[in-house]
Amino acid sequence: MSHKIIKNIGIVTFYPPMRTEFELFGVETFEKNGFNVFFIDISKILTPNLKYDPPVVNDKIVIKINKIRELYDILNQNNLIIVSAVYYTYKTLWLYRLYKKFNVPYIVFDISYHPSRTFESSQKSLQERIKRLNFRNLIIRLVNSNTFNQFLIKKADFALIPNYFSNILDPTIGKNTKILYTHHSDYDKYLANLDKKVSPENIIVFLDEYLPYHPDFQVMKSKPPVTPMNYYTSISRFFDKLEQKTMLQVVIAAHPRSARKNLFGDRKVIYNNTLELVRKSRLVVAHSSTALNFVALYKKPVIFMTTDEIIKTDHNNIIMNMAKCFNKIPINIDDETSIDMSDICSIDLEAYNNYLNNHVKIPGTPEINSWEMFIDCLNENHYI
């Protein structure tokens, strides 16, 4: 079968792209292989009131879209493939309708897969399920159903599946979609750093999630699980105790979207270097960050923590579920009686290895960058 010859890679995002997105979407890998790569930022359409303006990495390859019609000329290119980093939902149905209108080939992948999802369906009570059966959610289910959407959208040409639990892409996958089993983007970073030597340091790394201010809460129009004053007071107090107990220094692996300064007092805050920080640490502290992938890869002991505020929210379930993956129980840092540091350095290797196999890398997939695998797939299917 003959296909369009692909020369341009358009990456559609619902956030203004940052440095992390350049790594996540393999910009350097594509450019090394002769492709022209650019981002298509549709955040102004999806979330026009979003108060979030990250530092620009390379403005030359970012196209900011303000109106839907501005996409027409872009999608009408003959040698384009779209990397769709925007999930198919009832709110983005219009975007997937455009893919069909212009018959543009596109690829989907689970950009924000979280291991805690594997526990969610079994934990919902009958009462919760009934509560969710409102008109809006019935419409959402209808839009997501294959019976309905097969007439509305063009199914994806390719799907990158990082693990066996990733099912959020199902509405966009059809019988002719080429499925490519890969691994989590964190494993790509792990592969890229295999030959780099790192010396251990006497540090504890906190995997920051920017919980009080994360822009996702604006996007989802939901309330953060913590208030800034209570949250930063609690973790600062806990870090003081942890440093006294271990004689180690707590260092903050900043969330890439964090923009506010001086949230952690005098503690060192480091951006865009989480892998190396975890790798050379003695201990990791976390809530439910996906950077826990590095904890499993480098076999680091980890403390899961919650607070009095978090316990009252759904976010606590996410933390509980992540802790289960590592055979750990979260501690409430606001409750002195729940803080047991007697086995903070214990590791359940079986749990760690199960986590890697279930959530980070499908066993047997090639030990190469995910986007290299995709480029090989394009070549095998005569797209290049």
34: left (phi over 0), alpha (psi -120 to 50) or beta: left
Per residue in 266-275, pLDDT tens? 999 999 999 9
Beta bridge partners of 305: 331
Per residue in 153-202, pLDDT tens? 999 999 998 887 776 678 898 899 999 999 999 999 999 999 999 999 99
3 φ/ψ angles, rounded to the nearest 5 degrees:
-130, 170
Q: How far is CA 312 from the centre of its chain?
A: 24
Confidence (pLDDT) at 324: 95
Rounded alpha-carbon distances, angstroms, from residue 200 to 31, 207, 305 = 34, 18, 24
Return the DSSP state at 61.
Answer: G
Higher pLDDT: 282 or 383? It is 282
* pLDDT beyond 70 at 58: no
**Continuous segment of H or E residues that includes residue 207:** strand 203-207
**Does residue 298 contact residue 274 with C-beta atoms inside 8 Å?**
no
Domain regions of the chain by residue span: 8-183+362-380, 192-360
CATH superfamily for domain 8-183+362-380: Glycogen Phosphorylase B; (3.40.50.2000)
CATH superfamily for domain 192-360: Glycogen Phosphorylase B; (3.40.50.2000)
Token pair for 278: 């975890």
Helices 185-192 and 370-380 sit at what angle, rounded to 10 degrees? 110
Higher pLDDT: 278 or 144? It is 278
**Does residue 226 contact residue 310 with C-beta atoms inside 8 Å?**
yes
- By C-alpha distance, which of 262, 259, 264 is closest to 285? 264
- By C-alpha distance, which of 66, 50, 61, 56 is closest to 18? 56
Compute the distance between CA of residue 370 and CA of residue 178 in angstroms, rounded to an integer: 15
Do 8-183+362-380 and 192-360 have matching folds?
yes
287 SS3 class: coil
Confidence (pLDDT) at 221: 75
Torsion of CA 66, 69, 71, 74, to 10 degrees: -130
* pLDDT beyond 60 at 126: no
Beta bridge partners of 299: none
Confidence (pLDDT) at 54: 63
116 SS3 class: coil
| DSSP code string of 293-360 | HHHHHTT--EEEEE-HHHHTSTHHHHHHHHHHHTT---EETT-GGG---TTTT---HHHHHHHIIIII
Confidence (pLDDT) at 360: 93
Rounded alpha-carbon distances, angstroms, from residue 175 to 47, 87, 144, 153 = 33, 19, 16, 14
Token pair for 215: 């822009």
Beta bridge partners of 306: 332
pTM of the model: 0.89
Confidence (pLDDT) at 257: 86
Mean pLDDT of the 107-130 span: 60
Mean pLDDT of the 297-326 span: 96
Contact residues for 223 (Cβ-Cβ < 8 A; gap 6+): 217
